[in-house]
Structure 1
Amino acid sequence: MKEYKKRIVKTIQYIDENLDADLSLEKIAEISAYSPFHFHRIFKLVTGETLQSYITRKKIEKSAFFLAVNKKVEIKEIYLDFGFSNHSVFSKTFKKYYGLPPSEFRRTAPEVFHKILQTQSKNGQIDTVFSQYICTIENLLNWTAMNLKIEVKEMPKMNLAAVMSLGITQVESSYNVLIDWAKSKNLFPRENVKMISVYHDSFKVTPPDKVRIHACILLDEKPEEELKGEVFSETIEAGRFIVGTGEVTLHDFEQCWVSLFLWMNEHHHSMRRTFPFEIYHSNFKEHPEGKMIVDFCIPIH
């Protein structure tokens, strides 16, 4: 099973980095070094989805995220970036997932980011609905001022060792795998070690059991050889980031992210097409109130 997962990790990374490219079963199977027949079965076994369902979902979820956070970008530019040939196909597919066309979705998603909830209707169908975040904008801004120090700064390139988690409930086990690996390399425990979670999906548009999160450890330097398999190499490129720093509990994380995206829009920044992440400077398990010092980081232009 571990060998299966290693190959699926490789193919998922390829898919997510090439959503506008040829993602046929034959091409993806070639990347995974399986026959198309075997790859299709193994992919569904590991992810719980068919390859085509996964690809379509990723394209629509990424499109939804950028419709909400980059409102000045034309809808056409977004759907072409994610490999949709025309507006009709994109709109029909988008409406199937979110219950409304892209333009209406963009208009309905306010600057504070309405939270998308999936509720089971009486006839068993999944309806996607918008529910306003529990705080008013004023309260959220006050909470932000009291709990987060926010700044825009240049950050250096970061070389990471990573383990993929498919679903929020798998993150802890991914970190356990990562820490066992780090111990074998004498990288853990050590002073000022930094653990980082990289979010390749947003909880606002992706169900929690399908969100892809990479559990990472910051390396002092790039490995001499590329890491492969369950523990693989990942790079966060240097650039500008909005960084919100605070001492918070796990319960506060969603509010921190909502606050940071609100701050981004209020200050007229736009997000780059790469992934937000968290840097942990302390361990909540070692704090009497379950608090930890965290940097919440959004890549911006």
Structure 2
Amino acid sequence: MTKSNKVKAEEDGQQTTYTLDMPNKDLVFQSQTNTIEPFTGKSTQNAQQWISHATNVLQIQGFNDTHELTNLLSGFLDGEALNWFQDNKATLTEWKELYTALTQRFPSPPSFTNTFEYFQQLSNRRQGLDEPTADYYAHVLKLCNKYTPLMSDAERVDHLKKGLRPSLLEKVLDRDPVNPAQFIAVVLKAESNQRILQVQVETGPTSNNNNITTFTSDRPQQVSNFHNQRSYEEPQQPRQQRWSDHQQQQQQHKQNGSYGGRTCYTCGKKGHILPACHLNWA
């Protein structure tokens, strides 16, 4: 059926034209288009299913021109979807362009099973010990989009924080990023600082260890030599001094005698007694 209200059919190779009066045409069109629900762009609607159904209904009515289909389909848009179309209608003149742009702007919500699966993956996602932060970041955002394309930036950042390595999470909490772009900037900076510190740890202590090893290997010998020197040198002076003192004491003993001022009764001299007097041995 065309706008001239004529229906063309081919019977036995001959083309026959049937003309419908306006009231009948309107009734048929209205009954069919009543099955087309206005599309608002809400997350509960499936853009792909909606445009496919609406296109099929209009094509049954004989509207096959792509430009004409686009104009008719736009009449069923409402709310956010209509505002979006008004802003972009200059580039949406053909049905294929409308179909592609509409399904991309309002992606179809996943099924309940997939939604629960994506939620579980997000809840359990943890960054590996050797996993690059950029890979972790990209995968978490991909899961967020699959779970719900309308997820807010704050929710995405929360999911990113949840599985981040603890050593990096501390830096993120200090900076408190509010969107994924700020999050990845903070984390990459912290990761770079950690690598620099790791290099310093690996290279710096090596020379220090060598110094410590040299010191500890030399010190026992020095300590040993020190003790040996003390044990060899220090006693020499005391021994000589003691021997000299002993000789002096013996000499004094000989001079004074061991009996002090006692007098010998044999010779009358002091310093010894009778049994030791030389006169007894003369």
TM-score by length of 1: 0.19
Higher strand share: 1
Higher helix share: 2
Higher RCO structure, 1 or 2 (CA under 8 Å, sep 6+):
1
Q: Which of these two proteins has the greater Rg computed from alpha carbons?
A: 2
